[in-house]
Amino acid sequence: MTSLRSKGFAIGCVCLASAMFAMTSALVKFVSDDIPTVEVVLFRCAVAILVTWPVMWRSGASLRTKYPWGHALRTLMGLAGMFGSFYGYAHLPIVTVTAMNFVMPLVLTLLSALVLRERVTPPRIMAVVAGFLGVLVMLRPWQSGGDQLPTGPVLAVLSGVVGWAVAMLTIRRMGALGEASSTIVMWYTLGASFVAAVLSVPVWVTPHGWALVALIGIGLISGLAQIFMTEGYRLAESSLVAPFEYGAIFYSTALSVAIWGQWPDLWSLAGAVILIGSGMVVWRSR
């Protein structure tokens, strides 16, 4: 019974985290007309420290490390991933960006095979191919004019996805060498906040009113979401809880419809379904 309760709590944590990340994407889109993307990234990273650091200090986390260059690469790639997503939220429907972000496990599978020489089974190969076909369905390059998604934001999101995958690969390598996950998180929050602060100086816009509230909310909510997501994966095997991350697509759809009246079209829905299916195959075939 305890095990069942633990698994149920883990699933609940992942579902809650996915909903909170969807809320974050809506807040990013809300402030995007007035606040530069890199400044939004800064608030997300810096404010999240207030939530995540007390938890990590209580767990005995330390900044001591033998892998400074690994942390530097993880920070830069993680920032690229976050910037790509946030820029996408500003210029594309949040449902589309949320679905495209789920390409990351597919890219990570390819990089793991190429860099870490991990064995990739035939089902995972087929899932990766199907996933990229799902992306093509969402982007529908055969269409032109107003029916086609804008190229710049799409490329930013996809570049960010590659950045996230490289960051995850770096985390896995440092973890295999014995680096604590809490140390990796602490270095990332510090490094990302510093880099984003430097890049924000030339484009800085002082936020006021609801924009400031939204920016603080982005950092607080995403920080809490990260804690819940980590707890979910700590309490249960990834093959059980990972599929529930895809709930973010449904949560972001609800927010998109409720706030902006944006319904995903049939191509976006079809591509999202293909991506979800391929992603679940990748997780299940680990």
pLDDT digits (tens, 9 = 90+) for 6-57: 778 888 888 999 999 999 999 999 999 999 999 999 999 999 888 877 877 7
Is 30 a domain residue? Answer: no
Q: How many domains does the chain have?
A: 1
Between CA 180 and CA 177 the distance in angstroms is 9
Q: List the domain range (segments joined by +) for residue 77.
A: 38-284
Taking Cα atoms as reference points, which of 42, 44, 5, 4 lies closest to residue 24?
Answer: 44
Is 242 domain-assigned?
yes
Q: What are the tokens at 141? A: 């390059």
Q: Does 11 map to a domain? A: no
Residue 213 burial by Cβ neighbours in a 10 Å radius (0-12, 13-18, 19+): middle
**Distance between alpha carbon 170 and the CA centroid of its chain, in Å?**
16
In a domain, 155, yes or no: yes
In a domain, 16, yes or no: no
Both structure tokens of 272: 């999202």
Q: Is 178 a member of any domain?
A: yes
Report if residue 261 sits inside a domain. yes
Q: Classify residue 149 by its DSSP letter.
A: P
pLDDT at 10: 84
SS3 52: helix
Q: Is residue 23 part of a domain?
A: no
pLDDT band for position 1 (cuts 50, 70, 90):
very low
* Residue 91 backbone class (left: φ over 0; alpha: ψ -120 to 50; beta: rest): alpha
